[in-house]
């Protein structure tokens, strides 16, 4: 398993396979009447292999939220767990996210289901990093959709982008002080999850929402798992360009050092706007060489996160205590 790397970074999602019996045309999604009684859809935020994400307004409170539609037919049986609150089965993503409470993790609000979807409602966070022209065109379409309260079919168009991927695309790269502010929040979130026995397993800039003050929230727990520490995993459901060497070589892997590697790749992207390695072979075999522009503390941190051997990578506890991180936490 080797990543198809390019100097030009692109979004990692792929649209649902239209040949699958469970796939729906991206521009035609049936929305449950019960959902529309409680929420007014503003527009689409994105899509993934197993569903769509929309922005919506809660009709009673006026609160803006994000709603993830999880396609039931695409869920593997082992991704469903018993709901201890309401009974029945729910996706592991909902089960893991619901009890979490952390300023740098997207907040759960409610969930419900219909015949096709699980509806996961979470806090809305961030500002738009999309281009003004794109926003203007999309907003005109979305206003036409929102003006019809009886609408049951919605064209889910990609709308404004609120994530770190688009933020980096706007700024190209960040100086160390801003990178330090952004990254320390992400480390806080990942460390909090690990203390709950949870590993996100898909840490990347597309799954980090960010506002105009560079405050972030980790989102999308569709690949997350809860396991005892040091348990080895076999399957990988994350993003290949953030995968550690042991994952790329098809080995069983410990999720904590794999998360550390993903964090190292992410920090390099925040600082440079590009990937730390140019090919799959470099990901697996080449040593990471810090840029000359990096401070000594940052260079030391990068080397410790991007060590090829998982047992030689810095631990989450030591990562939080590293001087480059701890000076701001």
The Cα–Cα gap between 115 and 255 comes to 34
Task: Say whether 72 counts as a known binding-site residue.
Answer: yes
Per-residue b/e over 99-108, b at no fewer than 16 CB within 10 Å? ebebebbbbb
Q: Among residues 163, 202, 205, 220, which one is catalytic?
A: 202
Mode of pairing for the β-strands spanning 89-91 and 198-199: unpaired
Residue 29 to residues 44, 242, 323: CA-CA distances in angstroms? 11, 31, 49
Q: Find all residues with CB under 8 Å of 175, minimum gap 6, and list them.
A: none
**Of the candidates 203, 312, 191, 223, which has an alpha carbon nearest to the alpha carbon of residue 264?**
203
Residue 294 tokens read as 């990096």
Angle between helices 255-272 and 164-171 (to 10 degrees): 30
* β-pair type (198-199, 208-210): unpaired
**Angle value at C-alpha 7, between 6 and 9, nearest 5 degrees:** 75
Q: Tokens at residue 36, please?
A: 């529309």
Both tokens assigned to 291: 């840029």
Measure the CA–CA gap between 285 and 283, rounded to whole angstroms.
6
Contacts of 246 (CB under 8 A, 6+ apart): 253, 258, 310
Rg of the chain in Å (alpha carbons) = 20
Task: Give catalytic status of residue 202 as yes or no.
Answer: yes
Report which secondary-structure segment, H or E, holds 268. Answer: helix 255-272
CA dist 156 and 42 (Å) reads 10
Per DSSP, 17 falls in state P
Residue reference for tokens 């994400």: 53
Mark the binding-site residues for ATP, compressed into ranges: 72
* Residues labelled as active-site residues: 202
Binding site per annotation, positions: 72
């Amino acid at each position: 398993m080797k990543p198809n790397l390019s100097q030009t970074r692109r979004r990692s999602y792929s649209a649902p396979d239209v040949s699958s019996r469970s796939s729906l045309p991206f521009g035609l999604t049936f929305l449950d009447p019960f959902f529309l009684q409680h929420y007014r859809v503003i527009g689409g935020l994105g899509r993934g292999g197993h569903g769509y994400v929309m922005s919506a307004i809660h009709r009673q409170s006026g609160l803006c939220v994000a709603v993830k539609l999880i396609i039931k037919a695409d869920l593997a049986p082992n991704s469903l767990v018993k709901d201890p609150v309401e009974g029945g089965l729910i996706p592991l993503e909902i089960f893991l996210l619901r009890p979490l409470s952390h300023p740098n993790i997207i907040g759960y609000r409610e969930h419900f289901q219909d015949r096709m979807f699980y509806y996961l409602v979470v806090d809305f966070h961030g500002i738009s990093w999309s281009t003004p022209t794109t926003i203007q065109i999309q907003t005109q379409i979305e206003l036409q959709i929102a003006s019809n309260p009886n609408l049951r079919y919605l064209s889910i168009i990609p709308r404004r982008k609120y994530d770190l991927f688009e933020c980096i695309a706007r700024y190209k790269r960040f100086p160390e002080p801003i990178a330090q502010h952004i990254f320390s929040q992400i480390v806080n979130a990942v460390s909090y999850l690990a203390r709950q026995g949870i590993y996100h397993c898909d840490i990347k800039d597309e799954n980090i929402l960010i506002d105009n003050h560079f405050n972030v929230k980790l989102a999308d727990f569709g690949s997350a798992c809860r396991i005892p520490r040091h348990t080895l995993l076999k399957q990988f459901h994350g993003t290949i360009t953030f995968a550690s060497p042991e994952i790329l070589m098809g080995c069983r892997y410990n999720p904590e050092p794999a998360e550390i590697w993903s964090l190292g790749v992410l920090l390099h992207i925040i600082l440079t706007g590009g990937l730390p390695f140019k090919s799959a072979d470099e990901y697996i075999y080449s040593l990471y060489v810090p840029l000359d522009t990096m401070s000594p503390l940052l260079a030391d941190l990068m080397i410790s996160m991007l060590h090829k051997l998982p047992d030689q990578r810095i631990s989450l506890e030591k990562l939080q205590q590293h001087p480059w991180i701890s000076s701001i936490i």
